[in-house]
Amino acid sequence: MIEMLTKRILQSAAVILLMSLLAFAGINLVGDPIYLLVSPTASQQEIEEAARSLGLHLPAYEQYWRFLVNAFHGDLGKSFVFNQPAVSLIIERIPATLELAFTALFFSVVIGIPLGMIAGLMPKSRIRRAIMGCSIAGVTAPTFWIGLIFILVFSVNLGWFPSGGRGPTTSVLGIDVSFTSWEGLKYLILPALTLSLFKIALVIRLTEAGTREVSMQEYIKFARAKGVHGSRLMLKHIAPNVLIPIVTALGLELGHLIAFSLVTESIFAWPGMGKLIIDSVLHLDRPVVVAYLMITLLIFVFINFVVDVLYLLLDPRLRSTAK
Amino acid sequence: MESAMLWRLLAKINFVTSALILAVPAYTVHAADLKIGFKAEVTSADPHVLNGNNRNVWVHVYESLVAQDENLKAKPALATSWRNVDSTTWEFKLRPNVTFHNGATMTAEDVKFSIERAMNLSGPRTFRTYLKAVQSVTVTGPGTVTIKTKGPSPTLPDSLGLIAILPKTIGDKASEEDFATGKTTFGTGPYKFVSWAHGQRVSLAKNSAYWGEKEPWDNVTFQFIPREPARASALLSGSVDLIDAATANVMDSFKSSNKIDVVSTTSYMLNYLQLDRFRDNSPYLKSNEGAPLAKNPFNDIKVRQALMAAVNREGIVNRLMKGDAEAASQFVPAGFFGNDPALKVPAHDLAKAKALLAEAGYPNGFRMTMHCSNDRYLNDAKVCEALGQVFSQIGIKTEVATMPFAVYAGRATAGGASGEPEFSLFMFGIGAVTGDSLEPLLAVAHSHDKAAGLGANNRGRYSSKEVDALVIKASVTMNEKAREDLQKAAAKAVIDDVGIVPLFFLKSTWAYRKGLTVKPRSDGFTLAMGIRESSSAK
């Protein structure tokens, strides 16, 4: 058991090290950020001085070594653009991104599951065809297009929602959130809906397929024969069996929601991590890009590690092979 | 750009949906609040960190000894007057009874502290470039500051116009965080700092103790909206009152709306071509067979004149830039210090260009690769493709290579085998930030001299004794009239010699809700001080 754990830890460390090298090399290949930073008329001497102040004059391997040593002490460098620690810049924006991702997840559940079940229970009706047709549109329409259309219809023409930005925030348990007030919610609804459209469509399709499959099962027929029908049949007998694969899928999709919110964030000027990382890549703000990748990697490695350990604890067969 | 197409499509849908829905958004804007949709994002709260977009916001909070009017002419601000004591000494008389936002009175000590802080700040983004002439700053009276310069420095007041004056009490240790949180964010300007939400907005409030004319706006917000369609829809939906960088891509949707006005002005940003002049065998110039050329054709003035005549400036400006630019004949646009009205925009004349090439001994032209950035200046890659076509038309078979500026700038400056500039023909932009042609002349036209910091942007290594002499003389001439004449002569000498091929000046455009009046500024800055509620709307 202990042997297995140390092995996993060493593996994780190797992955992190390798990834840091890839991230560092990748962003170094893109170009030299110094010309994006200095005044356009700066002389060669001033440029060299500026490069020295950021450590950019060192050879790449030495820069990497410095980065590793500092990272080991918990310092992932200072942003060239913002002149602030990269980690705090990223952490500062996590709440906005998570808020958007979870709201989108919420929409996809409360809209997707009921529609999917309705469609699944009425396989021959027009309603089913309408719902499934919409879901195809939801799967295929590109997010940036949907986002622009939403802005145009709901904020420019109807004036119901603001076209971008984040509303007023309040602090809940030390985290700034904007969904506690109507004013804040107004800013959240359009981007969250845009982000969730694809997920809604996905949930509809999964639920519809599941419902159709489950409603053919013997025990449902038996329940119907016993006289169970309507909402009781749906909620008690069908829903629990349909939901299991959906919950698994949504768990996986949450990661995607967080990672793929960048397009939505940049259309709606939503100040989350996605927007920060895009801006940082454009400005070649190396410390922020590398820190972002490292933080994301750490989260993934940690989750995988915990899952592996849980498997070990739960499944005796794995323990025996580990010996 | 595909976003332009998309936007036109959206404009059509817009028309249809508004006809169907008949819902007109109500402008629920408080009479005295101003919301600005701002393209850039503020990246630093320390006003001594160099960044044009940051300065645009912070000039509301901080003032300098000298201010710039809409045409970038110097006007008194915290200094009421300034004069030369001798050719290397400037004396500034300070405005009395000016208070910082923390209540302290501004003194000569604060001015000395601020200029020295700007000179000694560490990091890559500082105003040191503009202060390199300063030898010492001394307080010579309760309201007098004397600045000694290393040599005669006629443009010092313009340069000091970029330096924010801070109270000395914030100390040497004031950090970025202190400024970002408002702990040390005290200026003397017409607006006070309220808050900066990273990536979202900067909020400012009226300074009711301001020494000058009081502002009509109680609150001013700079909302950062980088994407063009998003900025346009924020304006159309009424969530902001005004947006900057309203380029031709979104103009269609404003025209179809009757609630939006637009104003634009020519900015200081010049886009120009530079030519390799220091190598006999320029790496991206080849014979038609692909062999190296015997000599560098760009060292022949006829070839350079052919390039000058081949460029279709009016076509680029009207059709490609759709009015977002103005054809250029020299370093600074009309109205700027050093503009020579006698220099006319060169005519587009393909026949003349072909004849010049033939005279130079290239009747069948040659092969060339031209390099450009694709993410730095408005439409930069498209402009280069268009230029490649006209050069091909006169017989110079041109390939266009574009790349991100971060890669491009490095290669253009030092991408050669032994650290020399790499490209043969390439496009750059330069801005006369202080409204004076001296800075671009020194940086682009003067011979490259690393030790002296001259010709910093002269990546073609153009070198003319006549131009160097004129520019250097101008840089030490204290008499304004004489200096302007020298700069005009220098500009004429460079253009006659085709030291650069000027293309166009970019325009700055603002769109705003009807009922406002907006004073356009040549530096493209969006200042609440220049935005008023027009009297007819009230």
In tens, the pLDDT along B306-316 reads 999 999 999 99
**For residue B33, pLDDT beyond 90:** yes
Return the higher-pLDDT residue of A39 and A294. A294
Among A158-162, B277-281, B468-472, B531-535, which is the least confidently predicted range? A158-162
Structure tokens at A52: 């020295």
Q: Considering only residues B336 and B17, tell me which one the structure prediction assigns the higher pLDDT.
A: B336
Report which secondary-structure segment, H or E, holds B128. Answer: helix B128-131
Helix (H) or strand (E) holding B146: strand B144-149
B209 CB within 8 Å of a chain A CB: no
Work out the end-to-end distance of chain B between its first and last CA atoms, rounded to an integer number of angstroms.
Answer: 40
Under 8 Å between Cβ of B459 and B277: no
Average pLDDT over residues B456-464: 93
Q: Which residue of B has its CA nearest to A285?
A: B406
B479-507 pLDDT per residue, tens: 999 999 999 999 999 999 999 999 999 99
Q: Contact, B311 vs B345, CB < 8 A?
A: no
Q: Is A54 on the interface with B (CB under 8 A)?
A: yes
Q: Please tell me the number of Cα atoms within 13 Å of B509 on its side-chain side.
A: 25
pLDDT of residue B538: 43
Q: Tens digits of per-residue pLDDT, A53-83?
A: 888 888 888 888 888 888 888 888 888 888 8
pLDDT number for residue A227: 81
Of A89, A156, A267, which is closest to B236 when you measure between CB atoms?
A156
Q: In this complex, how many residue pairs, one in chain A and one in chain B, have their CB atoms less than 8 Å apart? A: 171
Chain A residues close to B238, C-beta within 8 Å: 159
Across the interface, do A41 and B17 touch by the CB < 8 Å criterion? no
Considering only residues 151 to 170 of chain A, which have any Cβ-Cβ distance to chain B shorter than 8 Å? 151-153, 155-159, 162-166
Asked if B429 reaches chain A (Cβ–Cβ under 8 Å), the answer is: yes
Q: Say yes or no: A149 contacts chain B, CB-CB below 8 A.
A: yes
Pair of tokens at residue A91 = 């952490």
A282 inside 8 A of chain B by CB: yes
Please compute the mean of the pLDDT values over residues B266-293 and round it to a whole number.
93
**What is the overall mean pLDDT for chain B?**
90
Q: How far is B395 from chain A (nearest CA, A)?
A: 34
CB atoms within 10 A of CB B97: 7
Q: What is the predicted pLDDT for the residue at B4? A: 53
pLDDT, residue B25, reads: 42
Label residue B27 by pLDDT band (50, 70, 90).
very low
- Chain A residues closer than 8 Å to B50 by CB: 39
Residue numbers of B between 80 and 139 with CB closer than 8 Å to A: 122-125, 127-129
CB contact under 8 A, B457 and A41: yes
The residue of chain A nearest to residue B130, with distances taken between CA atoms, is: A42
Residues of B in contact with A34 (CB under 8 A): 124, 410
Contacts of A32 in chain B (CB under 8 A): 406-407, 409-410
Rg (CA), chain B: 25
Q: Does B18 touch chain A (CB under 8 A)?
A: yes
Cβ distance of B198 and A50 shorter than 8 Å: no
Cβ contact A271–B43 (<8 Å): no
CA end-to-end distance (rounded Å), chain A: 7
Integer Rg of chain A from CA: 25
Neighbouring C-beta atoms of residue B537, cutoff 10 Å: 10
What is the DSSP code string of B261-323? EEEEEEEEEEEEEEE--S-SS-TTEE-TTSPBPSS-GGGSHHHHHHHHHH--HHHIIIIISTT
Nearest to A31 among B239, B410, B440 (CB): B410
Q: Kindly report the number of other CB atoms within 10 A of residue A175's CB atom.
A: 12
* Interior/surface letters A289-300, b for 16+ CB within 10 angstroms, e for the rest: bbbbbbbbbeee
Task: Tell me the shortest Cα–Cα distance from A128 to chain B, in angstroms.
Answer: 28
Q: Which residue has the tokens 């007030």?
A: A181
How, if at all, do strands B191-197 and B144-149 pair? unpaired
Q: Are the CB atoms for B146 and B90 separated by under 8 Å?
A: yes
Question: Tell me, what's the pLDDT at B9?
Answer: 56
* CA distance readout (Å), B107 to A110, A117, B81, B416: 63, 74, 15, 51
Question: Judged by CB atoms within 8 Å, which residues 35-54 of B form the interface with A?
Answer: 41, 43-44, 46, 49-50
Nearest to A165 among B177, B223, B236 (CB): B223
A89 touches chain B (CB under 8 A): yes
**A36–chain B Cβ distance below 8 A for any pair:** yes
Q: Does A44 touch chain B (CB under 8 A)?
A: yes
Q: Which two tokens stand for residue B36?
A: 């600005």
A81 touches chain B (CB under 8 A): yes
Question: How many residues make up chain B in this entry?
Answer: 538
Question: B44 CA to chain A: closest CA distance, Å?
Answer: 6
pLDDT of A225-270, one tens digit each?
888 877 777 777 778 778 877 877 777 777 778 767 888 888 888 8
Burial class of residue A189, CB neighbours in 10 A (0-12, 13-18, 19+): middle
Q: Which of B179, B237, B436, B446 to substitute to test the interface with A, most A CBs within 10 Å?
A: B237
Superfamily of A87-320 according to CATH = MetI-like (1.10.3720.10)
- Bridge-partner residues for B429, per DSSP? B271
CB within 8 Å: A50 and B124: yes
Neighbour-count burial for B197-208, b at 16+ CB within 10 Å, e otherwise? bbbbbbbbbbbe
Which run of H or of E encompasses B500?
A: strand B500-513
Task: Provide the 8-state DSSP code for B408.
Answer: H
Three-state secondary structure call for residue A140: helix
d(CA B520, CA B523): 9
Q: Which of B23, B177, B454 sits opposite A157 (nearest CB)?
A: B23
Beta bridge partners of B192: B205
Chain A residues with beta carbon closer than 8 angstroms to that of B430: 40-41
Q: Best of B221, B227, B268 to disrupt the A interface by mutation (most A CBs within 10 Å)?
A: B227
In this prediction, residue A70 carries a pLDDT of 87
Confidence of residue B8 (pLDDT cuts 50, 70, 90): low
Among chain A residues, the shortest Cα distance to B254 is held by A156
Q: Tell whether B8 lies on the interface with A, counting CB pairs under 8 A.
A: no
Q: pLDDT for B404-426, tens place per residue?
A: 888 898 899 988 888 899 999 99
Q: Which residues of A touch B10 (CB under 8 A)?
A: 148-149, 152
- B531: which strand partners? B518
Which pLDDT tens digit goes with each residue over A104-156?
989 998 998 889 888 888 878 888 888 888 888 888 888 888 888 888 888 87
Instruction: Specify the pLDDT at position A157.
Output: 79
Q: Report the C-alpha gap between B360 and B353 in whole angstroms.
A: 11
Q: Quick one: what percent of chain A has pLDDT higher than 90?
A: 3
Rounded CA separation A24/A122 (Å): 54
Q: Which residues of A touch B6 (CB under 8 A)?
A: 145, 148
Interchain proximity A36–B238, CB inside 8 Å: no
Compute the nearest-CA separation of B165 from chain A (Å). Answer: 20
What chain B residue is nearest to A89 in terms of C-alpha separation? Answer: B198
Query: For a pLDDT cut of 90, what percent of chain B falls above it?
Result: 73
Which pLDDT band holds residue B14 (cuts at 50, 70, 90)?
low
Q: Could you tell me the pLDDT band of residue B228, with boundaries at 50, 70 and 90?
A: confident
Give residue limits of the domains in chain A: 87-320
- The alpha carbon of residue A260 is apart from the nearest alpha carbon of chain B, in Å, by 18
The residue with greater pLDDT, A170 or B287, is B287
- For residue B360, pLDDT over 80 is answered with yes
Query: What is the per-residue pLDDT for B21?
Result: 43
Residue B12's pLDDT is what? 56
